[in-house]
Amino acid sequence: MGAEGDQPVVERPQQSDVAARAGVSLATVDRVLNRRKGVKERTRQRVLEAARELGFLSESEEAQLGIARPPNIVVLLPAGSNPYLRLLGDRLRARLEGAGPSGPVLRCFFIESFNAQALAEALRRNAGWADGIAFFAIEHPVVREAAAEVAASGTRLVSIVSDLGSVPGIPHVGLDNRAVGRTAGLLIGRFSGGRAGAVALVAGSRHYRAHSEREAGFLSIQEELFPQLRIHGMREGHDDAAENYRHTLALLEQVPDLVGIYNVGGSSGGITRALREQGRQEVIFIGHGLTADTRRAVLEGTMDAIFDQDPDILIDRAIACLTDPGKLPRPLKLDIYFSENLP
């Protein structure tokens, strides 16, 4: 027995008490109190009501939990030396640092480039936390399977830059890549001034649908309008500057009548380095991504044109697509830069 005048000790209610009163599991209470995904609105309200009745939450805590939770957004990008993708990652990191409390909660991860299994695992791994995932797609069965599984579980998906094709329920934010390839073919054909010779293509990988669609568009317009130009073929440089450098040196040695090169992927710095070292500025060169190295190459005359998609607009459209599922994205505008109109 306690001494005369002692007050009885009142135990503070626990999460288990809230779970019992609301008729839900302890895990559900934990998800509600930590504002995690996966709880229906009516269940969330029942848990908050039980917590209030038990005195588990203060008024300020209850008010904070009553505010709609900002969406969790994950962006998955290929790792590697592609300067445009590094720039995209930098823009995302800047948003992370400047994010306010009302905006979406962003996370960005770099996945091993061209590794379909790694991308599939990353989609599944992040689906538990994320309300939406934007990802640079690899067109491969294991990625399609993982994407379909994640989408069916309720996590919204959007592919960026390169898509999965016509997969129901997974919209795409990016360029009309077949039209982009035709535009590159038109420019090289017109810049050639009627010269006959060979045109070569360099890609990251045909597993990126964006690259294969650009190739198809390029081939179609060359055959249609510029029969004097023959296509030497596609070389895969895996968006790596060193590989692209070696491919370009081989082309310059093996194809004496080389008229032009179209890099449908990234890391154009290796190509411009080879052209510069070999004194072959007469070779028409078009590539993608307005970055420090391509800007320098255009200004010095080693590169003739840069095709670009604004990284901030790309991020904005992807986030809008994930946070407003009824908003279907339109193809992004293709920006084409020459030495005279660089921003």
Find the CATH number of the domain harbouring 41.
Answer: 1.10.260
Secondary structure (DSSP) of 300-326: HTS--EEEE--HHHHHHHHHHHHH-TT
Residue 34 confidence (pLDDT): 67
Identify how many contiguous H helices and E strands the chain contains and give both numbers. Answer: 13, 11
For the purposes of burial, counting CB atoms within 10 Å of the CB of 105, is it exposed (0-12), middle (13-18) or buried (19 or more)?
Answer: middle
Please tell me whether residues 157 and 199 are part of one structural domain.
Answer: no
Residue 160 confidence (pLDDT): 95
Number of domains in the chain: 3
Q: Report how far residue 237's alpha carbon sits from residue 254's, in angstroms, rounded to the nearest whole number.
A: 17
Higher-confidence position of 273 and 10: 273
Please tell me whether residues 144 and 169 are part of one structural domain.
Answer: yes
Stretch among 16-30, 182-196, 294-308 having the lowest mean pLDDT: 16-30
Residue 99 confidence (pLDDT): 67
Residue 147 confidence (pLDDT): 96
Residue 59, in any domain of the structure: yes
Residue 158 confidence (pLDDT): 96
Please tell me whether residues 187 and 292 are part of one structural domain.
Answer: yes
Q: Report how far residue 265's alpha carbon sits from residue 236's, in angstroms, rounded to the nearest whole number.
A: 9
Please tell me whether residues 203 and 304 are part of one structural domain.
Answer: yes
Please tell me whether residues 22 and 109 are part of one structural domain.
Answer: no
Please tell me whether residues 104 and 149 are part of one structural domain.
Answer: yes
Q: Report how far residue 119's alpha carbon sits from residue 138's, in angstroms, rounded to the nearest whole number.
A: 8
| 191: CATH | 3.40.50.2300
Which amino acid is residue 235, in one-letter code? R
Q: What does the pLDDT look like over 212-257, one tens digit per residue?
A: 999 999 999 998 999 999 999 899 999 999 999 999 999 999 999 9
Task: Label residue 8 by pLDDT band (50, 70, 90).
Answer: low
Please tell me whether residues 163 and 267 are part of one structural domain.
Answer: no
Stretch among 81-90, 161-170, 195-204 having the lowest mean pLDDT: 161-170
Please tell me whether residues 76 and 60 are part of one structural domain.
Answer: no
Residue 77, in any domain of the structure: yes
Residue 207, in any domain of the structure: yes
Please tell me whether residues 189 and 300 are part of one structural domain.
Answer: yes
The domain in which residue 56 lies consists of 15-66
Residue 296, in any domain of the structure: yes
Higher-confidence position of 205 and 165: 205
Please tell me whether residues 80 and 117 are part of one structural domain.
Answer: yes
Please tell me whether residues 27 and 102 are part of one structural domain.
Answer: no
Residue 30 has pLDDT above 80, yes or no: no
Residue 1, in any domain of the structure: no
Residue 120, in any domain of the structure: yes
Please tell me whether residues 155 and 194 are part of one structural domain.
Answer: no
Residue 4, in any domain of the structure: no
Residue 1 confidence (pLDDT): 44
Contact 283, 258 (CB under 8 A): yes
Residue 129 has pLDDT above 50, yes or no: yes
Sign, CA torsion 56/60/66/72: negative
- Distances, alpha carbon 326 to alpha carbons 156, 158, 195, 235, 329, in Å: 12, 13, 50, 39, 10
Residue 10, in any domain of the structure: no
Q: Report how far residue 228's alpha carbon sits from residue 148's, in angstroms, rounded to the nearest whole number.
A: 45
Contact 214, 178 (CB under 8 A): yes
